[in-house]
């Protein structure tokens, strides 16, 4: 196989040494089935990607596409004997078209870099995962990534107009349209988005850019406890104001941030709602938000300039330190907004009942919660079995409230066990048939994303 690969990819970018294989073996999600790739290919252009897929297809070798490996669900974990196909070197911004308000990029472009390129034109790429400085647009597309300002601006799918995709057999296709609207044929673009590398390799992305807001206003609202902060989210909704950012951080998260970054958030309350309004109405919207949050008992302060940016950066860093494992797992459930208060209370109950630690951040405007449960390492198996019970229970409760097992991180490898709790056998079957139509030999990221 390596020989076949070398016939179309420069030798320095076909890595078979132990170190390389090890460092490309996993992403930042929990690892359930450790596996090593046979080889890592650092593709530099579309031809090379096509070559890799042709080889893999002929030889029946699994291929795991990889951006920067920041997945939190094991979507980019190696499967035994696979080719890791890294797109990180395909990182050119092909063009920003200010009048068309679109940009065309290679998949390895870092999300934040596109925003840097768009800003001078008064434009932005809206979907901004907290990992925006370290994750690729290809990875964002493959997971349909969300982020902080998605409540107002939509998720990745809502900003992607067209894709270039290399199919399982090496065929290159183009889907979608450069125009803002287009309904010719099936929405293949949307089908590839969120398919986690199981239907094709994304090698080109055309996105719609939105307007950089003329103004933003940032508010920090501190609450006495978590359910009160969740109620604040509903109060803003009831006022029919749509913030660009509406993030919730619980007391444990504040304590961890304070310890790590020498901030003093914990002194100000036991739960924080971070609200940003933007656009021509930013000030008026912030005034309404301030009023309704004070009415439900919050201490609200307007954060100016650098401080506002710092607070948002703190939120982005709220996951903090490294990868998930057996002793710590970050979740990604979503619930209908009306259930936020109840679900926040349920999370605290579950942690208490099962004796596990909990911290919570949430893209609260979307009802998308990231509880992290953890247990001390020295508790060994006893701890991890309580941890897993808490995870299962938190997912079950979310589903019972009409929620989903994954709001934005994807199913990957880790959440496969929960997928049948959410999807009916008929849906699972239909997805399998789609997978087969795209990838009859089953070589694209097998064992991920769908049951």
359 binding ligand FAD? (CB under 6 A) = no
130 binding ligand FAD? (CB under 6 A) = yes
119 binding its own copies? (CB under 8 A) = no
Q: Restricting to residues 369-388, which ones interact with its own copies according to CB under 8 A?
A: none
175 binding ligand FAD? (CB under 6 A) = no
Residue 232: both structure tokens together: 């604040």
282 binding its own copies? (CB under 8 A) = yes
The listed partner (its own copies, ligand FAD, none) that binds 202, CB under 5 to 8 Å by sort, is: ligand FAD
CA distances from 425 to 26, 419, 429, 446, 450 (A): 30, 10, 6, 19, 11
Contact 223, 269 (CB under 8 A): yes
Among 51, 149, 210, 319, binds ligand FAD (CB under 6 A): 319
281 DSSP 8-state letter: T
The span from the CA of 441 to the CA of 222, in Å, is: 54
The span from the CA of 150 to the CA of 146, in Å, is: 6
Tokens 């919050």 correspond to what residue? 298
Residue 219: both structure tokens together: 């508010």
What DSSP assignment string belongs to 330-387?
E---B--GGGHHHHHHHHHHHHHHHT-EEEEEEEGGGTEEEEEEE--GGGHHHHHHHH
Strand arrangement of the beta sheet that strand 201-208 belongs to: 93-97, 102-105, 201-208, 160-166, 172-176
450 binding ligand FAD? (CB under 6 A) = no
Q: How far is the CB of 149 from ligand FAD (least distance, A)?
A: 10
Among 179, 260, 313, 376, binds its own copies (CB under 8 A): 179
Backbone angles phi, psi at 46, to 5 degrees: -65, -40
Contact 29, 412 (CB under 8 A): yes
The span from the CA of 38 to the CA of 82, in Å, is: 5
66 binding ligand FAD? (CB under 6 A) = yes
The span from the CA of 81 to the CA of 428, in Å, is: 26
* Greatest alpha-carbon span in the chain: 69
Q: How far is the CB of 71 from ligand FAD (least distance, A)?
A: 3
Contact 42, 52 (CB under 8 A): no
Q: How far is the CB of 295 from ligand FAD (least distance, A)?
A: 30
Q: How far is the CB of 337 from its own copies (least distance, A)?
A: 5
The stretch among 100-108, 293-301, 304-312, 375-383 that binds its own copies (CB under 8 A) is 100-108
Q: Restricting to residues 205-234, which ones interact with its own copies according to CB under 8 A?
A: 210-212, 214, 234
Q: How far is the CB of 393 from ligand FAD (least distance, A)?
A: 23
The listed partner (its own copies, ligand FAD, none) that binds 18, CB under 5 to 8 Å by sort, is: none
138 binding ligand FAD? (CB under 6 A) = yes
The stretch among 128-136, 248-256, 383-391, 401-409 that binds its own copies (CB under 8 A) is 401-409
65 binding ligand FAD? (CB under 6 A) = yes
366 binding ligand FAD? (CB under 6 A) = no
Site string for ligand FAD, 108-127 (x = CB under 6 A): --------------------
445 binding ligand FAD? (CB under 6 A) = yes
72 binding its own copies? (CB under 8 A) = no
Among 152, 217, 409, 435, binds ligand FAD (CB under 6 A): 409
Q: How far is the CB of 1 from ligand FAD (least distance, A)?
A: 19
Compute the 3-state secondary structure of the chain and give helix, strand, coil in percent, each to the nearest 5: 40, 20, 40
Among 105, 161, 202, 361, binds ligand FAD (CB under 6 A): 202
295 binding its own copies? (CB under 8 A) = no
CA distances from 297 to 92, 252, 300 (A): 49, 20, 9
Q: Which residues bind ligand FAD (CB under 6 A)?
A: 27-28, 64-72, 75-76, 87, 107, 129-131, 135-136, 138-140, 142-143, 145-147, 196-197, 201-202, 319, 408-409, 445, 448
């Amino acid at each position: 196989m390596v020989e076949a690969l070398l016939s179309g990819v420069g030798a320095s970018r076909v890595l078979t040494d132990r170190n390389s294989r090890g460092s490309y073996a996993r992403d930042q999600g929990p690892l359930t089935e450790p596996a090593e790739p046979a080889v890592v290919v650092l593709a530099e252009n579309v031809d090379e990607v096509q070559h890799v897929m042709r080889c893999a297809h002929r030889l029946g070798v699994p291929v795991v596409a990889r951006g920067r490996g920041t997945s939190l669900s094991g979507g980019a974990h190696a499967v035994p004997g696979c080719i890791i196909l890294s797109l990180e070197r395909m990182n050119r911004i092909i063009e920003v078209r200010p009048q068309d308000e679109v940009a065309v990029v290679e998949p390895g472009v870092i999300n934040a870099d596109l925003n840097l390129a768009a800003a001078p034109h008064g434009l932005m790429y809206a979907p901004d995962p907290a990992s925006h400085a370290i994750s690729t647009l290809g990875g964002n597309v493959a997971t349909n990534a969300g982020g902080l300002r998605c409540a107002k601006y939509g998720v990745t799918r809502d900003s992607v107009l067209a894709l270039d995709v290399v199919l399982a057999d090496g065929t290159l296709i183009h889907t979608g349209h450069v125009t803002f609207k287009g309904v010719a044929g099936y929405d293949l673009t949307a089908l590839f988005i969120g398919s986690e590398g199981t239907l094709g390799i994304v090698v080109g992305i055309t996105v719609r850019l939105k307007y950089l807001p003329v103004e933003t206003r940032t508010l920090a609202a501190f609450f006495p406890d978590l359910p009160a902060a969740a109620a604040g989210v509903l109060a803003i909704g009831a006022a029919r104001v749509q913030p660009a950012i509406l993030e919730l951080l619980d007391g444990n998260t504040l304590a961890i941030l304070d310890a790590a970054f020498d901030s003093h958030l914990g002194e100000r309350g036991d739960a924080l709602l971070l609200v940003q309004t933007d656009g021509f109405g930013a000030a008026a919207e912030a005034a309404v938000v301030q009023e309704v949050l004070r009415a439900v008992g919050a201490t609200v302060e307007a954060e100016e300039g650098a401080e506002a940016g710092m607070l948002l950066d703190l939120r982005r860093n709220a996951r903090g330190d490294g990868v998930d494992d057996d002793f710590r797992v970050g979740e990604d459930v979503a619930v209908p907004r009306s259930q936020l208060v109840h679900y926040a209370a349920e999370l605290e109950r579950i942690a208490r009942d099962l004796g596990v630690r909990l911290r919570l951040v949430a893209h609260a405007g979307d009802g998308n919660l990231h509880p992290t449960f953890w247990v001390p390492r020295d508790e060994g198996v006893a701890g991890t079995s309580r941890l897993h019970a808490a995870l299962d229970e938190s997912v079950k409760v979310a589903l019972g409230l009409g929620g989903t097992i994954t709001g934005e991180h994807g199913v990957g490898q880790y959440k496969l066990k929960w997928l049948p709790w959410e999807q009916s056998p008929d849906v699972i079957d239909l997805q399998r048939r789609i997978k087969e139509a795209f990838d009859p030999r089953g070589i694209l990221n097998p064992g991920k994303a769908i049951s």
